[in-house]
Amino acid sequence: MLELQHINKRIGDRQILKDLSLTIPDHAITVIVGPSGAGKTTLLRCISGLSALDSGKLLLDGEPFDPHQRPADRRAIGVVFQDFQLFPNLTVLGNITLAPTLALKLRPAEAEQKAQTLLEKLNISNLRQLYPYALSGGQKQRVALARALAMKPRLICYDEPTSALDSGLRGRVAALLLSLKAEGITQIVVTHDQDFAKTIADHMINVVPIAG
Amino acid sequence: MWHYILAILPALLSGVQVTLVLFLTTLLLALPLGILVSLGLTSRFRPLRASLKAYVWLMRGTPLLLQLIFVFYGLPIINIVFQRSDAAVVAFALNYAAYFAEIFRGGLQAVPQGQIESAQVLQLSYSQTIRKIVIPQVLKNVIPAIGNEVINLVKDSSLVYVIGIGDLLRAGNVATARDVTLIPLVLVAAIYLLLTGICTLGLRQLEKHYRAWH
Ligand SMILES: Nc1ncnc2c1ncn2[C@@H]1O[C@H](COP(=O)(O)OP(=O)(O)OP(=O)(O)O)[C@@H](O)[C@H]1O
Ligand SMILES: [Mg+2]
């Protein structure tokens, strides 16, 4: 369980998040909605350690959690970026095995074998030798998800997972997230898409813009 | 004519050697120096950034020929004396490092911030991120521009003529003046074409290698 307590965050001289407290329960999908500019991406960046909090704290299972200051804490959070940010200089397999070999110090053979299992689970094992430029949006997203899952995070964050995809793929993304939920993976999803949100959400959190 | 060519070839080849040594030493010094300067140009430390900017501005804004003359004939006036060949290397390395630095800076800025953040959430360390993600992408970005400069360097090396270094061009010019024939200059042109041709081929191979991932 991830708890956010009294989070404040300003960017420049604008207050983006103000005294925000919320709880992300385990093994469920928490959907974050809110108008454009409300601070949803900012919230994900704080959770994943990309941005520092101005004040407030994060607790993971009741323990203090600080992915911004403590790199080791980042292990717990996986991120699927809105534009995926696959590494263009590495193949699909290279994208997935890079962090496990470098950060978790897995032997390459072991990392590859685990990557293969993930690729099969996500139905993309035929893509393993391709470079990202050759993938469609939906394929890139699956690779980004496999890359995040390879680090065995406690929790996965998605920023607008349907925004870069054909609307026909929405159903498949929803099915994918629900299948991960069935495996007990905790997920946080930021989305604008009401229908998509209703299909997947166990909990909804509404982020509202701060006036001024 | 073949007889004549064979007779002047040793002199031309020793000129080629001088040209190649200057070319390689310049690259060996100017490439790493250029990388360091480009990192300095993107640094957050303002005085460093400002002085490196001034250096690049000076090197790119004045003729290389002037810089060469300045180092060899000018600096001795204030008691800084270089050997001929050292003067050439100093002037060329400083000049080319400035061009390389600008190219590397552009290549560095073309790597999206998202790539670095992506590496960060995957728990890669700073040096792992630089080595595995940033450098390969920068190299790919800069190879065509660096390649142009490398080929320019082959030709620019002939400027050392002005400080009396016996490079390829001088060897050809000496023979032409002595024997009153165009053959040496034609040979010199052919050798320059060969050298730039080899560089072009090498660069094309390198580009092909990087084209695998677009
Ligand atoms: N790097 C930045 N510099 C300045 N302002 C920023 C920066 N990042 C975000 N902001 C501002 O912070 C506010 C919240 O941005 P954020 O990206 O979190 O919104 P969002 O809810 O994700 O919006 P959207 O739904 O459009 O993605 C916006 O007003 C934005 O202009
Ligand atoms: Mg956003």
Closest Cα to atom 6 of ligand 1 = A11
pLDDT of A212: 56
CA gyration radius for chain A?
Answer: 17
Q: Do B212 and A131 touch (CB under 8 A)?
A: yes
**Cβ A69 under 6 angstroms from ligand 1:** no
With beta carbons less than 8 A apart as the criterion, state whether B135 and B184 touch.
Answer: no
DSSP string, B15-69: HHHHHHHHHHHHHHHHHHHHHHHHHHHT-S-HHHHHHHHHHHHHHHHS-HHHHHH
| Number of domain units in chain B | 1
pLDDT of A210: 81
Q: How confident is the model at residue B51 (pLDDT cuts 50, 70, 90)?
A: very high
Count of other CB atoms within 10 angstroms of residue A154: 16
**Closest ligand relative to A42 C-alpha:** 1
- B10 burial (CB, 10 Å; 0-12 / 13-18 / 19+) is exposed
CA of B64 to the centre of ligand 2 (A): 50
Q: Which residues of chain A have pLDDT under 70?
A: 212
**Closest ligand relative to A158 C-alpha:** 2
Closest by CA to A48, choosing from A143, A150, A141, A159, is: A159
pLDDT in tens, B8-28: 999 999 999 999 999 999 999
**Cβ A30 under 6 angstroms from ligand 1:** no
What type of residue is B105?
Answer: R
pLDDT of A87: 98
pLDDT of A167: 81
* CATH number of the structural domain spanning residue B123: 1.10.3720.10
Q: State whether residue B79 sits within 8 Å of chain A by CB.
A: no
pLDDT in tens, B146-200: 999 999 999 999 999 999 999 999 999 999 999 999 999 999 999 999 999 999 9
The dihedrals phi and psi of B157, each to the nearest 5 degrees, come to -55, -25
Residue B124: domain span: 2-213
**Cβ A41 under 6 angstroms from ligand 1:** yes
Distance from C-alpha of A156 to C-alpha of A149, rounded to nearest angstrom: 8
Query: What would the two tokens of residue A126 be?
Result: 């035929």
pLDDT in tens, B94-153: 999 999 999 999 999 999 999 999 999 999 998 999 999 999 999 999 999 999 999 999
Q: Do B120 and A131 touch (CB under 8 A)?
A: no
Q: Is the pLDDT of residue B87 over 80?
A: yes
